[in-house]
Amino acid sequence: MTSVLDVRDLVKEYPVRSGVLRRVTGSVKAVNGISLTLERGRTLGLVGETGCGKSTVGRCLVGLIEPTSGSVLLDGVDVSAMSGRELRAARRRIQLVFQDPYASLDPRQSVEAIVSEPLRLHGLARGSESARAAALLDLVGLSSSVLQQYPHELSGGQRQRVGIARALALEPEVMVLDEPVSALDVSVQAGILNLLEELQRELNLAYVFIAHDLSVVRHVSHEVAVMYLGRIVEYVDADTLYSTPQHPYTQALLSAVPLPDPRAERARKRILLEGDLPSPIDLPTGCAFRSRCWKATDVCSSIPELRTTDYHAFACHNADQV
């Protein structure tokens, strides 16, 4: 089976300017050499804390920002080498759902206009845009009475459904979901997560699910990649990640998630990380995590490779399995 999405050595660098002349004095690697693979009908969770580069990866995938180097392949064809009509056609196949359903919908457009805009832009379903928009709303569990409403008349959950309908309009094969439920209350979140799973089954969609909430990621993902300061530190199927995490950062991250179970909480030993996330402008040499790692030794002054053993990839010199 060929993978629908392949990301190879993706790098996104931003210049750092300083002084009165705003000269470029350095660079920040927001994404520092990331490779991912995704098959149809599967979900890849991309997790990490603020500033780890997970959203930058998402934006590079859909072409909202241009990667500095590396390639994004759809069905084995390099999107970064395309241009013009070919690129437009490829773009249709990978769509983005934004985090904030309040900010990502134009307040002056009706739901119908929002959902059918991608159709108009790509010249699809000419003449039957509104029928198509109604069908899309039906797909995401909204009645067609919503068509003539404006975003401010909708609840957060309904808005996020509109955002999903808009992303589905072009019948993509891959959806990049950037924190799709983090702005929602739990009871609403459950509805959206169930909807995403149904859509995946029905349409054989592949998801890149970007989130900071590890419980949500565990619920939806088949594979999970954990990011720390622009790099993937661990990449494995979801069950293995949660049962036997290898990278100390993953271990700390998992142990910090509060469990809705008082007895388990009391019995738990938390790994409390020391200090704060280092500035991406001024990374520690070698392993970026070593300034906060309780397992750090002298070998950590060299950058650990992401090594794979038994389908389990992790980048640590001192992991348990080594």
Contact status, residue 173 vs residue 205, Cβ threshold 8 Å: yes
Task: For residue 187, give every residue at least 6 positions away whose Cβ sits within 8 Å of its Cβ, in sequence order, or none.
Answer: none
Q: Can you spell out the DSSP letters for 192-211?
A: HHHHHHHHHHHHT-EEEEEE
Site string for another protein, 219-248 (x = CB under 8 A): xx---------------------x------
Side-chain-side CA neighbours of 209 within 13 Å: the count stands at 30
Contact status, residue 232 vs residue 225, Cβ threshold 8 Å: yes
Residues 59 and 176: their CA atoms lie apart, in Å, by: 9
- Only one residue has tokens 């009871």, namely 187
Nearer to another protein, 86 or 261 (CB): 261
Provide, rounded to whole angstroms, the least separation between the CB of residue 264 and another protein.
Answer: 7
Nearer to another protein, 116 or 158 (CB): 158
Site string for another protein, 250-289 (x = CB under 8 A): --xxxxxxxxxxxxxx----x-xx-xxx------------
Nearer to another protein, 74 or 273 (CB): 273
Edge-to-edge strands, sheet with 5-18: 23-38, 5-18, 69-74, 77-78
The torsion angles phi and psi of 307, rounded to 5 degrees, stand at -105, 145
Interface segment toward another protein; rule CB under 8 A; list 9-17, 168-176, 249-257, 293-301: 249-257
Look at strands 206-211 and 43-47 and give their pairing: parallel
Provide, rounded to whole angstroms, the least separation between the CB of residue 255 and another protein.
Answer: 8
What letters, b where the CB count within 10 A reaches 16 and e where it falls short, cover 76-91? eeebbebeeeeeeebb
Provide, rounded to whole angstroms, the least separation between the CB of residue 275 and another protein.
Answer: 7
Site string for another protein, 61-100 (x = CB under 8 A): ----------------------------------------
Among 18, 27, 145, 215, binds another protein (CB under 8 A): 215
Question: Quick one: tokens of 5?
Answer: 């999405």
For another protein, the binding residues in 159-188 under the rule CB under 8 A are 185-188
Nearer to another protein, 122 or 222 (CB): 222
Residues 17 and 26: their CA atoms lie apart, in Å, by: 7
Site string for another protein, 34-63 (x = CB under 8 A): ---------------xx-------------
Nearer to another protein, 32 or 189 (CB): 189
Provide, rounded to whole angstroms, the least separation between the CB of residue 50 and another protein.
Answer: 5
Residues that bind another protein (CB under 8 A): 49-50, 155, 157, 185-191, 193-194, 197, 212-216, 218-220, 242, 252-265, 270, 272-273, 275-277
